[in-house]
Structures are given as structure tokens and as C-alpha cells.
Amino acid sequence: MELYVERGFDETTVAAIAKRAGLTERTFFRHYADKREVLFAGAALLQQLFVTTVTDAPPDMPPVEAAMTGVVAGGVLIQERRAFACQRYEIIAANTELQERELIKLASLSAALAATLRRRGVGEHPADLAAEVAIAVFKIGFERWVADPVHLDLPQLMRESLDELRVVTADTETGRPTTVAAS
Amino acid sequence: MELYVERGFDETTVAAIAKRAGLTERTFFRHYADKREVLFAGAALLQQLFVTTVTDAPPDMPPVEAAMTGVVAGGVLIQERRAFACQRYEIIAANTELQERELIKLASLSAALAATLRRRGVGEHPADLAAEVAIAVFKIGFERWVADPVHLDLPQLMRESLDELRVVTADTETGRPTTVAAS
């Protein structure tokens, strides 16, 4: 990770990473399929956390609130690893290929959330929409947190992002929300 | 396009495409950088349509409604080319690499929408959130339309998806929306 920051992702070889970590290349490849995996190995854990948390949410919880329990749990986890998360973000922001990989990760997380909501009895399209909303809140809350020098609370920022999403999604600027289009 | 459906994207060569279209390979490459471009050349047009439509929306229109004018205009355009859109969707659904490219396209459209909203005076985070909501509605409305044999109206499906998003985003299942988290 340090090497990615120092030299750039593309310029860092597995040999250099292994050397810095005091490992052989062979040991490195026992842990990671490639050097991108150093940055994306946590995705599976995050997805599992999303799924188990949303599965365990109270049965009568509305779709987006249920999905939010998953992303907020993810936020707690990420916050505990702030140094890693910030370095990782910086590395990804500097590399187009990694940004694309990050988009794919978010799409997979959204699909996993939607599938979990459907298992809770939420309809297909509402599940997709709720998952997309939760992932948008996850992404934008995280971007706000990572850019913030005063270490705001990430789960709180995610909740605030959802509140803000409700405001911008409302039909009028006064925040009057409705289920009928203004047309 | 027909060849992509018949043979699969990976198995189709530029030589075969050019032959089917009655062109030389050289002429093909004058129009498209590579064979993926046949599927993604429309993205720039769509983005331009989003940007000009949202720019021209009434100044007092709330962020998501303004963003929606762009994606609905996109829906009108896509609907006029249903045969192409459905074939394209089928090809992309069958190929992981193309799906990734599609995710990148949607992320670019979202960024363009957010930038346009900011130029309308919308704050940074509300603009990002409104753009993400509009793109989610665009994507899910489109998926519903493309899967539907009875040719529902795409702009209408997008509007309905937004209404549905408002319902799932509400704090309670009765659809009571609020700007304060239920916690």
C-alpha cells in the first residue's frame, strides 16, 4: 500500500511489495491473486457483512432502512481502518483501471443487497431501487468522510446522506415528498 | 450488431462486421476506434442530451426533477431505437467485459449530470445524490422496458421508477417520507 502511494500503482511490482513486506513473491501470491487484490480483498468481507446485517434486520423494516443497516455496518468497519481506507482511496483515485474495478465492486455490492432484500420479501424492482439508493449513500457518504480532515463519523455521514437524498428526491424544494410525480 | 447476437461479441471479428456491412476494415476503423465502439458510440450523444436538457430545465425545478428531464429525454431517444437498444442490451448482458464498460458509461453519465446540476446552483453533495438517483431510475426503468414484451412506454417507466424509489426511500412502509432519520 505504501509503495502504491509512493510510486503509483502501475509502477509498483509484486517483487517490490513482497520485499517491503518481508515476504517472497510466492508467499504474496499465496495470499493475493494479483496486486489489485491487495486493494480489493476486503470486498468479499464487506459483501458478507452487508448480506448478514440486512438479513438480520427487523422483518418489518422498510427496504431502504434495511439496506442501510448493511451499509452502515460497512461504514463502521471501514471507519475502524481509516488509515487503510484513505490510502486505498488515494491510490484508486489516481488510476483509471482501479476506478473501474471499484465501480464493478459497488455494482456487485448493490446486486448482493438487492438479492438479500428480495429474500426478505421485497419486490424485484423496489429491491433494486432500494439497493441502488443504499449504495449511492454508501459511496457519497464515504467520499465525504475520506475528504474530511476532522474525522467525521462515517455511519453518521451515511445517514445524513440518506436524509439529504430524501430531500433532493422530494417533489419540491420545500422538501414535500410525495409518491405522485409533479408532471 | 447482428453478428454479435449470432456469434457472440468475443467471436466476432472486425473483418466479419465490415464484410456484413459492405465496408472495408479501413472504413470501419474510420468510424469506430474498435468493435466495442459500435455499442458505445451513442454514449457521447446521450451525455450531450442529458446535459443540454438539464441545463434548459426551469431554474426553480428541484434537483432530481431537473436530472429526470435529462434521463427522460434519453428514454425518448432510446425508445425510438428499440430494436437497436434491445439487441445491444442482449449482447452486453452476455459479456462481462461489456457489462463493465456499461457501468463506466453510467458512472460517466452520472458525473455529467452532477456537474450540470452544480452549474444550476445545486450544492455539491445534493447534486451527486440527485444524479445517482436519476441514473438508478434510468437504469432500472430501462431494464424493465427491455425485458417487457408489450412495449411499455420507457419515459413513463422511468417516471414510475422514480415514484417507486420515493416510496422505498420513505421512512415507513406507509410511504410517509421525512427528512429526519427514524433511527
Q: How far apart are CA B67 and CA B45, in angstroms?
A: 16
Give yes or no for B159 touching A (CB within 8 A).
Answer: yes
Query: Hey, what's the cell of A44?
Result: 468479499
Of A103, A167, A171, the CB nearest to B104: A103
Q: How far apart are CA B52 and CA B7, in angstroms?
A: 38
Q: What does the pLDDT read at residue A118?
A: 97
Tens of pLDDT, residues A118-176: 999 999 999 999 999 999 999 999 999 998 878 789 999 999 999 999 888 876 544 44
Q: What does the pLDDT read at residue A13?
A: 79
* Topology, domain A38-169: Tetracycline Repressor; domain 2 (1.10.357)
Q: Render the burial of B31-57: b for 16+ CB within 10 Å, e for the rest.
A: ebeebeebbbebbeebbebbbebbeeb
Give yes or no for B59 touching A (CB within 8 A).
Answer: no
Q: Do B64 and A180 touch (CB under 8 A)?
A: no
Q: What does the pLDDT read at residue B179?
A: 42
Q: What does the pLDDT read at residue A175?
A: 40
Please name which of B30, B10, B8, B5 lies closest in space to residue B18, comparing C-alpha atoms: B30
Average pLDDT score over residue span A15-26 = 79
Give residue B156's identity as a one-letter amino acid code: Q
pLDDT bin (cut points 50, 70, 90) of residue B171 is low
Tens of pLDDT, residues B82-117: 988 999 999 999 998 899 899 999 999 999 999 999
Q: Do B140 and A132 touch (CB under 8 A)?
A: yes
Tens of pLDDT, residues A30-64: 777 777 777 888 889 999 999 999 999 999 999 99
The alpha-carbon gap from B109 to the nearest alpha carbon of chain A, in Å, equals 13
Domains A1-35 and A38-169 share a fold: no
Q: What does the pLDDT read at residue A180?
A: 41
Give contacts of A 9-38 with B, CB under 8 A: none
Q: Do A64 and B100 touch (CB under 8 A)?
A: no
Q: Say which CATH architecture domain A1-35 belongs to.
A: Orthogonal Bundle (1.10)
The alpha-carbon gap from B173 to the nearest alpha carbon of chain A, in Å, equals 6
Chain A residue with Cα closest to B179: A163
**Angle formed by the axes of helices A124-146 and B154-169, nearest 10°:** 70
Q: Evaluate if residue A181 carries a pLDDT over 50.
A: no
The alpha-carbon gap from B21 to the nearest alpha carbon of chain A, in Å, equals 32
Q: Evaluate if residue B177 carries a pLDDT over 60.
A: no
Give contacts of A 88-127 with B, CB under 8 A: 100, 103-104, 107, 122, 125-126
**Angle formed by the axes of helices A124-146 and A96-119, nearest 10°:** 140
**What does the domain layout of chain A look like in residue ranges?**
1-35, 38-169
Strand, helix or coil for residue B1: coil
Q: Evaluate if residue B28 carries a pLDDT over 80.
A: no
Q: How far apart are CA B136 and CA B110, in angstroms?
A: 9
Q: Say which CATH architecture domain B36-169 belongs to.
A: Orthogonal Bundle (1.10)
pLDDT bin (cut points 50, 70, 90) of residue B172 is low
Q: Do B166 and A159 touch (CB under 8 A)?
A: no
Highest average pLDDT, of A79-83, B40-44, B172-176, comes from: A79-83
Got the DSSP string for A16-53? HHHHHHT--HHHHHHH-SSTTHHHHTHHHHHHHHHHHH
The alpha-carbon gap from B128 to the nearest alpha carbon of chain A, in Å, equals 7
pLDDT bin (cut points 50, 70, 90) of residue A12 is confident
Tell me the torsion sign for CA atoms B63, A168, B111, B47.
negative
Q: What does the pLDDT read at residue A154?
A: 94
* Contact residues on chain A for B171, CB-CB shorter than 8 A: 62, 65
Tens of pLDDT, residues B126-145: 999 999 999 999 999 999 99
Got the DSSP string for B14-78? HHHHHHHHT--HHHHHHH-SSTTHHHHTHHHHHHHHHHHHHHTS-TTS-HHHHHHHHHHHHHHHH
pTM of the prediction?
Answer: 0.81
Residues 6+ apart with CB under 8 A from A81: none
What is each CA distance from B67 to A74, A129, B8, B62, B167, in whole angstroms?
Answer: 29, 17, 35, 9, 19
Q: What does the pLDDT read at residue A172?
A: 52
Q: Do B168 and A139 touch (CB under 8 A)?
A: no
Is ipTM > 0.90 here?
Answer: no
